[in-house]
Amino acid sequence: IGYAFLERYFVSDQSTQLRESDTYLYGGHFLESTAWVVLGLVLMVLRRRAQSTSWKLIQADAKNYRDAWERLARVQENKDAMQRLQEFCKRCPPPAKLLQFRLDQDASADEGLPMLASFINRRRIKRDISQFLPSESHNRTRLDTVSSRGSMTPVSAPNEAMNASVNGETASMSARGSTASEVRGATQMNYRTVTSLDQLYVQAAGVHALLVQKVRAWGIDAGGRCRVEGCSDFVKWEEVQGKRLMENRVKYAALKRHERAIEKIIRAYNGKVARLCDVCRESLYFDDLSQILNCLHAIRADTDVKLLSVKNRYAPDYEDAKTAGYRDLNVNLQIVTDESKAMGVHLHICEIQLILTQFAYLKTDSGHKR
């Protein structure tokens, strides 16, 4: 407002001095500018107070997390495991600003998409999808209701193309490491970034059953643990395997709450829905860092998975002030199988959290909310 005032009354070639008729207008601008300045200062003070109050709320949680990490870091075996874990993560894709994509239904209408894939990749989701989703999503994926009209053209992941657009425009498919045939196939079926939160949740609901199957396999291979309803302690996946009653009581993560998703999109991603990559997520729990490293090896060796990024908060040089002392390891990936392609959700990015039980015992719902 101040710059506009100066340009209007003192810099403009059309006027070298205040006209008498503008005197009242000048006074109005001055009062308005003063009011906005005062309001801005008040908001700054209130924000600082809110930050101070927020930090006081999490101080106890932060101390517990840091004490747990110090106890772990004093053990030589854990130090060695941290070093091996850090070296492994350096060979993995680093944390990046990933984007959620959908198939361009307009461009792929004649590509032989199955019915469910065509539905999921609409620009907007406007009707119930329960008829398409599996009824026992935690046990197995059923595609009985999918009437396939042909096979999907194999394409490479759009997040490998570094010049993808965030504004919903067609993504460039000059992917790193893609063969010529893959790139040609990708040009036949274009990608577009997801701009609808409803559509993002439809994708997440479709891929969640597949992610659960993978989490089971990785947990068994790496000696991981899970939460079981009615058990106060974490139970090893090996003890759950084959026991139908316990398998039905495993507590899998739900899709991200709508309120939290909207809050994160507005606060952290400037309204870009495609930046939200943790709607579909799961957690695996481990007793030590060596098991986490084994799980990473299992994920990387899985041919059905496209590993996109790894964020290692167990690194000794990690600044834990960003997470109030809390540490875990986050993996972003896509599940690329015949089932996920048939549903059109092989582009959806999921998140896996690899958590030490020492931190998991301290992590409560109320503390996470704080």
What's the pLDDT band for 192 if we cut at 50, 70, 90? confident
| 111-120, 123-132, 230-239, 291-300, range with the lowest pLDDT | 123-132
DSSP labels, 210-269: HHHHHHHHHHHHHT-EE-BTT-SS-EEHHHHTT-HHHHHHB-PPPPPPHHHHHHHHHHHS
**Residues 88-100: tens digit of each pLDDT:** 999 888 888 899 9
Model confidence pTM above 0.75: no
Question: pLDDT tens digits, residue range 246-262?
Answer: 889 999 999 999 999 99
Q: pLDDT averaged over the chain?
A: 76
